[in-house]
Amino acid sequence: GAGVSQSPSNKVTEKGKDVELRCDPISGHTALYWYRQRLGQGLEFLIYFQGNSAPDKSGLPSDRFSAERTGESVSTLTIQRTQQEDSAVYLCASSLSRREANYGYTFGSGTRLTVV
Amino acid sequence: GQNIDQPTEMTATEGAIVQINCTYQTSGFNGLFWYQQHAGEAPTFLSYNVLDGLEEKGRFSSFLSRSKGYSYLLLKELQMKDSASYLCAVRDGLKGIFGKGTRLHILP
């Protein structure tokens, strides 16, 4: 696609429920990233994919968080047993590979998750 | 550890020049990026530096000193639409590590 697409744009869920967030990167972008941004805060790294592999999962806050990517395309971020502190905007970004490192990330518009 | 520092807020006047500083300490370095983020929107890419020196792009310029772990973003001829947060990010391998951002307020 022309840009990075994320769905849903907004999600309100009850504490304890599971949620699944989706990201469609730019076609041909081999690298895909998930970040979390709490209100008024900076971007917190969660995980990135190179192709379908996740070389760095160090940012996942707990084992309630998981992510996968298939076909070097769509990625889903799953949060199990959501807690109120999970409320944030979840941003997905994609980029070309290391060889084209001077390209920045292209971000999606994000999913605003509210846990009530 | 990984640390990126930038001022929380700055104020400048329309038509003026402003410099936003960023210092970093990261385990790896594959380039430094600046992004602009308007309230409620996703960040958009502004600039990239991997070698020391100044990169100019229209009204925006970005400078890097790797030995000092320092960068700045220079915005000239400020316009009201430049009111936004400016995020400094260091690429460590393929992973981007972001600072908390500098909120820039432009006064008429």
pLDDT tens per residue, range B35-45: 999 988 889 99
pLDDT tens per residue, range B44-66: 999 999 999 999 989 999 999 99
pLDDT band, very low/low/confident/very high, at A40 (cuts 50, 70, 90)? confident
Q: Please name the helix (run of DSSP H) or strand (run of DSSP E) that holds residue B25, with its range, or none.
A: strand B18-25
| Tokens (6 digits) for B50 | 């991997």
B68 Cβ contact partners less than 8 Å away, ≥ 6 residues apart:
B23
| Tokens (6 digits) for B51 | 């070698």
Listed residue (B93, B7, B85) closest to B39, CA to CA? B85
| Smallest Cα distance from A112 to chain B, Å | 10
Task: Tell me how far apart the alpha carbons of residues B8 and A56 are, in angstroms, rounded to a whole number.
Answer: 28
Is the pLDDT score of A1 beyond 60? no
Eight-state DSSP code of residue B86: E
Mean pLDDT of A84-111: 85
pLDDT at residue number A102: 64
pLDDT at residue number A98: 59
pLDDT band, very low/low/confident/very high, at B2 (cuts 50, 70, 90)? confident
Q: Are B87 and A31 inside 8 Å of each other by CB? A: no
Chain A: residues touching B (Cβ < 8 Å): 31, 33, 35, 41-45, 48, 50, 55-56, 91, 93, 95, 97-98, 101-110
B57 touches chain A (CB under 8 A): no
Q: Quick check: A94 and A105 in contact, CB under 8 A?
A: yes
Is the pLDDT score of B10 beyond 80? yes
pLDDT tens per residue, range B54-104: 999 899 999 999 999 999 999 999 999 999 999 999 988 778 899 999 999
Residue A6 is which amino acid?
A: Q
pLDDT tens per residue, range B11-39: 999 999 999 999 999 989 989 999 999 98
Task: Tell me how far apart the alpha carbons of residues A31 and A24 are, in angstroms, rounded to a whole number.
Answer: 12
Q: Are B48 and A104 inside 8 Å of each other by CB? A: yes
